[in-house]
Amino acid sequence: MANPTAPQADTPLLERISQQSAFADAATEAGLIDLANKVAPLIQGRRFHNVVDLMSLAADGVDMADDAMIQKMMGGYEDLVSNLWMLSNAARYASNEAMRQPVPSRMGLLKAAADEDVRRGLHFALQFLAVLGRQTAPQADDA
């Protein structure tokens, strides 16, 4: 025999919800109505599906995140932050030096190239630009 106090399946959803103890509170009901009013345009425009898909994607990411993946991501983050820190320090130092010293002549630039650190920096910049150039070159099958 069915439980006489349990809501029946043919009872409207709002009535069944209002009979449950968690939803019987007036403040909870008012909050749910406010939430439904805010979510209604998303549901009507079928954009709420995107929110559900995004939550599903986030849940999948949490499920896939094992210790090795977290450690790898943290290593990449630390590398990124340390390289950005190094670049910002180098740019700040170079800017201060350039403001402090007069602009060198062409001969002064050639004399600066005698410094091993300057040559190392130029070599790095040229290698970096070579990699960018290689990546932007048209492929044989693109021509």
| pLDDT above 90: residue 12 | no
| pLDDT above 90: residue 55 | yes
Helix (H, G, I), strand (E, B) or coil at 25: coil
* Per-residue pLDDT tens digits for 65-94: 888 888 999 999 999 999 999 999 999 999
pTM: 0.46
Q: Is residue 111 part of a domain?
A: yes
Q: Is residue 45 part of a domain?
A: yes
23 and 53 together in one domain: yes
Domain hosting residue 127, numbered range: 105-134
30 and 58 together in one domain: yes
What the block records as the tokens of 7 is: 């809501």
Kindly state the percentage of the chain with pLDDT values over 90: 46
Q: Is residue 129 part of a domain?
A: yes
In the chain, the amino acid numbered 137 is A
What average pLDDT score do residues 86-113 get? 91
Q: Is residue 128 part of a domain?
A: yes
What the block records as the tokens of 41 is: 């345009």
Q: What is the Cα–Cα distance from 113 to 91, expressed in whole angstroms?
A: 19
Q: Is residue 143 part of a domain?
A: no
Using 50, 70 and 90 to split pLDDT, how confident is the model at 3? low
What average pLDDT score do residues 20-28 get? 74
Q: Is residue 6 part of a domain?
A: no
| pLDDT above 70: residue 38 | yes
Q: Given this model, what pLDDT does residue 141 score? A: 67
Q: Given this model, what pLDDT does residue 1 score? A: 45
The contacts of residue 8 (CB under 8 Å, 6+ apart) are 2
Which residue do the tokens 């070159």 mark? 137
122 and 84 together in one domain: no
Q: What is the Cα–Cα distance from 41 to 48, expressed in whole angstroms?
A: 9
Q: Is residue 72 part of a domain?
A: yes
**Separation in Å, CA 110 to CA 8, 90, 115:** 90, 21, 10
Number of domains in the chain: 3
